[in-house]
Amino acid sequence: MLASVVNYTARQFARAIVMPNLNPPVTTMAAADAYRSRITAALDPGIKFTPLMTCYLTDSIDPSEIARGFTAGVFTACKLYPAHATTNSSFGVTNVENIYPVLETLQRIGMPLLVHGEVTDKHVDVFDREAVFIDKILSQLIVRFPALKVVFEHITTSEAAAFVESGPATLAATITPHHLDINRNAMFEGGIRPHFYCLPVAKREHHRLALRRAAVSGSPKFFLGTDSAPHAIGAKESACGCAGIFNAPHAIESYAKTFEEEGALDRLEAFASEHGPRFYGLALNSERIVLERAAQSVPQRLSAADTEIVPFHAGSALAWRFAGLAP
């Protein structure tokens, strides 16, 4: 599967934060190095792409391994998955207090913490789990570790957008193209629509509009993060209905669609290419891409290894087209 999908991301983006929720997860420098090698080996000839590797946090992970990996340039960040919150998160953190020594290390060395922000208590409504996570966990975490850089990944609610905007400079958030484009109705139009199912799940319309306002606001606290997840049709159209939306083939065009609809195309470049690197302390890319106003139809399915994947916007027309690198 990796060789079939990695170039969709690599052709549009010079680098990407690579999430560690494999099975088994990426918890060591050796595992991260091996995964990075598999990614680079799968790139098409002539494509320049830098995978930025992350470390999967567990209750018992060794802070010294993380620090060594960060110092050596193997790890760019750590990822906190509450146990059982999403795909391949069964090894995740059961109680954030279990990783306080890790968070103290991250704060000391300046290594960002990336957060999947949902509680997993079965008594909390699935549509409320992000807001409850803010109240019960994240609000306390940023007070306890005031110098820790935190990226609230793939936010989905007005509460998250407001929390990040009002928070300290050490707190930022990514927003996906699909959470900017769909609300929860998309999963139920004309029946169950599993290809619109992801975690965190899409929310009500007023949350989507709040995300759009945040994305186009120009605030450096919000930046691009696709959370693209390639699941085969058989895995999506099944009893499990695996969570994830494969938006990589047309991610930048989807963002352009949103920014144009909001009258903010002049702010797309900063959202896509500047805010994120500056938060991470990375240099901006020197090369530029070209987006053309040229209609294109998104195919219903894409071949991937010995299966097929349904891409985001399948069967729809997009007004923008990625035209490659600028000369």
**% of residues, the chain, pLDDT over 70:** 100
- What is the number of domains present in the chain? 1
Q: Is residue 52 part of a domain?
A: yes
Catalytic residues: 227
- Residue 88 is predicted with a pLDDT of 87
According to DSSP, residue 191 is labeled S
Q: Is residue 321 part of a domain?
A: no
Q: Is residue 46 part of a domain?
A: yes
- Residue 1 is predicted with a pLDDT of 87
Q: Is residue 86 part of a domain?
A: yes
Q: Is residue 199 part of a domain?
A: yes
Tens of pLDDT along 239-280?
989 999 999 999 999 999 999 999 999 999 999 999 999 999
Spatial CA neighbour of 40 closest among 55, 29, 52: 52
Q: Are 285 and 260 in contact (CB under 8 A)?
A: no
Strands 302-304 and 321-325, by their bridges, are unpaired
- Residue 188 is predicted with a pLDDT of 96
**Which residue type occupies 29?**
M
Give the separation between CA 327 and CA 168, rounded to whole angstroms: 39
Question: In degrees rounded to 5, what are phi and psi of residue 324?
Answer: 100, -165
- Residue 318 β-bridge partners: 296
Tokens of residue 49, six digits:
């792409």
Residues 6+ apart with CB under 8 A from 217: 165, 267
Q: Is residue 268 part of a domain?
A: yes
Give the separation between CA 118 and CA 113, rounded to whole angstroms: 15
Range of the domain at 156: 2-289
According to DSSP, residue 128 is labeled G
Q: Are 86 and 199 in contact (CB under 8 A)?
A: yes
Query: How many residues would you count in the chain?
Result: 327
Mean pLDDT of the chain: 97
Strands 113-115 and 75-80, by their bridges, are parallel
Tokens of residue 219, six digits:
């605030």
Q: Are 20 and 56 in contact (CB under 8 A)?
A: yes
Tens of pLDDT along 119-163?
999 999 999 999 999 999 999 999 999 999 999 999 999 999 999
Q: Is residue 324 part of a domain?
A: no
Q: Is residue 316 part of a domain?
A: no
Tokens of residue 144, six digits:
């306890």
Burial code (b: 16+ CB inside 10 Å, e: under 16) for 91-102 equals: bbbeebeebeeb
Q: State the CATH number of the domain containing residue 152.
A: 3.20.20.140
